[in-house]
Structure 1
Amino acid sequence: MSPVADSAADGFAVRPQGHRLGLSALALILILATLALPTLGFASEGRTDGTVIIEPNEIIDDDLYVAAGEFTLEGTVNDDVFVAAGTVDIPGNVGGSLNVTGGSITIDGNVEGSVCVFGGDTVVSGAISGDLVVFGGSMLIGETASIDGDLLVYGGQVDLLGTIGGDVNGSVGLMSIEGTVAGDVDLDVQTLTVRSQAQIDGSLDYVSRQEANISQGADIDGDVNRVELSPWGTGDGL
């Protein structure tokens, strides 16, 4: 059972502020690390233009840094990729980690490391061998998506149709779970829907003013625990 459920008293609970502060701190650390890396002397390649395309037959053996209006990776980068662009499309292969800041982001290729996204709208339908960390407005994890590690999400709306090999954590406005989670789910959420196709192998712990809408066909192996927030706004202010 998640520790948050132990803090309930008389039907209400205060969510520790450190949960959200930790997410914000992580975001800041990742941004600063991304900006600092090119100055540290590691082998890398940079691309800057209005439109940057890595063609299907192109292979880059170094880290890749991109600043562009539109970026498409159709080829292969064997090390890490760092991107800042308005529109990002990743149908190709990344041998390391992928770090993206953008407005519209689509990841339908293969990433051998972890993925960190700061974006407006994100769609993932490919395979990620590590963790997926997302800070953004809306996110769709499609039916074909496979994330071997954990999902950490901080955003407005998340639709999970694919497979998560680890845990799901974060703070979300609207969350819909229709896919498979091999670990636990622990969320701060305004509206949570667990559909009949969903499978959660661990427990479901959530903090919300609303009772989750859990379909009868949903398969949740562990306990389901809700910590109810005070209607007067006590807690994190969801």
Structure 2
Amino acid sequence: MLRSFILLFVTLLAVPATAQEVYRFGNDAYMAGDNVTLTGDAVDDVFIAGNTVVVSAPIEGSAHAGGRSVSISGPVGNSLYAAGMNVNVSGGVGGDAHLLGDTVLVNDDVAGDLRAAAQRIEINGAVGDSALVAAENILLTGVIAGDASFSVDNISFGDDARIEGTLYLYSDDPNGIEIPDSVAPEDRIERHNVDEFDASADPEGGATIERSGSGWGAWLGGKITAILILTAVVTLIAALAPTFLLALRLRTLETPARALWMGFLTISALAGSLFLLAMTGFGILLIPVSIVLAILLGIAGYVIGTYILGVGMLGAANRPLPETLGERAVAALVGAVSITILAMIPFIGWIAALAVSVTGAGALIIRWFAPGFYTEVR
């Protein structure tokens, strides 16, 4: 999952760089620029980003590519990760292929799994294992040796198209999609409505959600479970670091606007650093660090913000500040319920929940670094 985030950020950040920057470490290649081309002798792993990306050199390891237009014509020994508006894979992939774009063309064989999301995708090569594809339009002319899971509106097949395993078909009208027997007989096709797809479900079952309940009962059960999990996490933090949380909540409840502002500035700075790192070329190596820090700060802010919100709600009800573990658990539960209800408010709920998370992040930054503006240094 982290690789996907990296690819998306690199794709967006590659455009400002105008000259091709190349950095080599060991037998790996790191490249960024406007029009970036990798040719010549084979390299181990490649990390490449730009407006137009062309990779024709053999890749003995894995390839990571992001840009507006991405073309991979050289063979890739291990796995391929590519994202762009247009992605064209015309070189064989020895491992798995993970592809994201508007138009994705797979014109050579993929020895492992194929995982792709696009508006339109053509699979003209053989897939050695399973294929997990989400696209509005799919053209399959090759052979998929394992199972296939297609979330699709329109699908067409070539004369030699074939799926050796089970086809899990997800669509708004799954029964309206015709699958020739030469591709997969009906007894190896499972048709589902598109809202039955669940990425966290068992992939051996086509990632189809097993509905143990329905309607508002299942929805309410899910919300209650989420609240209890969040309450347990916040209570655990409150038990392990009560003094630290005491300082955070006192400072934040005194000046909530400052905590919100500092959280916004810090997360913005982490996100903005990606532009500078990408423009330096070799700074791409540090992009994962910025992403991980931003994610961790957001998660920590959400947990801290939930607790501070719970304490604030209890204070508004004229309840004393929590001192014992039981009282902290009550504050955690009140905060978890409050932020869950806030998030369900139409249109503005997600903004309120985000504000709580950012405020918690800001409280953490203030406690650790004590930043200030217009202050004198003596």
**TM-score, normalised relative to structure 1:** 0.70
Structure of higher RCO (CA pairs closer than 8 Å, 6+ residues apart): 1
User: 1:28: how far off?
Assistant: 2.1
Gaps of 5+ in 1: 1-22, 35-47, 54-58
> What corresponds to 2:127 in structure 1?
164
Q: Any idea what the Cα deviations from partners look like across 1:2-56, whole Å, max 9, x if unmatched? A: xxxxxxxxxxxxxxxxxxxxx7x66226668x8xxxxxxxxxxxxx863479xxx
Q: Which moved more, 1:212-221 or 1:164-173?
A: 212-221
| 2:140 aligned partner, one-letter code | I
> What corresponds to 1:94 in structure 2?
59
User: 1:114: how far off?
Assistant: 0.4
**Contact 1:74/1:90 (CA < 8 Å) preserved in 2?**
yes
Gaps of 5+ in 2: 11-16, 198-378
> In structure 2, do the counterparts of structure 1 residues 60 and 213 end up closer, same or farther at CA, with 3 Å as the change threshold?
farther
| 2:29 aligned partner, one-letter code | L
Q: Secondary structure, in 3 states, of the residue corresponding to 2:78?
A: coil
**Contact 2:162/2:182 (CA < 8 Å) preserved in 1?**
no
Query: Does residue 73 of structure 1 match 2:38?
Result: yes
**Contact 1:201/1:221 (CA < 8 Å) preserved in 2?**
no
Q: Secondary structure, in 3 states, of the residue corresponding to 1:94?
A: coil
> What corresponds to 2:137 in structure 1?
174
Picking from 102, 117, 121, the partner of 2:82 is 117
Matches within 5 A, 1:1-238: 27-28=4-5, 50-51=19-20, 61-142=26-107, 145-210=108-173, 211-215=176-180, 217-218=182-183, 223-229=188-194
Aligned equivalents of 2:103, 2:26: Cα separation in 1: 32
Aligned equivalents of 1:138, 1:86: Cα separation in 2: 16
Query: How many equivalent residue pairs?
Result: 190
> In structure 2, do the counterparts of structure 1 residues 221 and 62 end up closer, same or farther at CA, with 3 Å as the change threshold?
farther
User: 1:227: how far off?
Assistant: 0.5
Q: Secondary structure, in 3 states, of the residue corresponding to 1:148?
A: coil
Structure ID, larger Rg: 2
TM-align CA RMSD: 3.0
**Contact 1:204/1:220 (CA < 8 Å) preserved in 2?**
no
Aligned equivalents of 2:52, 2:103: Cα separation in 1: 15
Fraction of identical pairs, as percent: 26
Aligned equivalents of 2:114, 2:120: Cα separation in 1: 14
**TM-score, normalised relative to structure 2:** 0.45
User: 1:219: how far off?
Assistant: 5.3
> In structure 2, do the counterparts of structure 1 residues 103 and 222 end up closer, same or farther at CA, with 3 Å as the change threshold?
farther
| 1:28 aligned partner, one-letter code | F
Q: Higher helix share goes to which structure?
A: 2
> In structure 2, do the counterparts of structure 1 residues 72 and 149 end up closer, same or farther at CA, with 3 Å as the change threshold?
same
Q: Higher strand share goes to which structure?
A: 1
Aligned equivalents of 1:185, 1:60: Cα separation in 2: 38
> What corresponds to 1:40 in structure 2?
none
Aligned equivalents of 1:155, 1:117: Cα separation in 2: 12
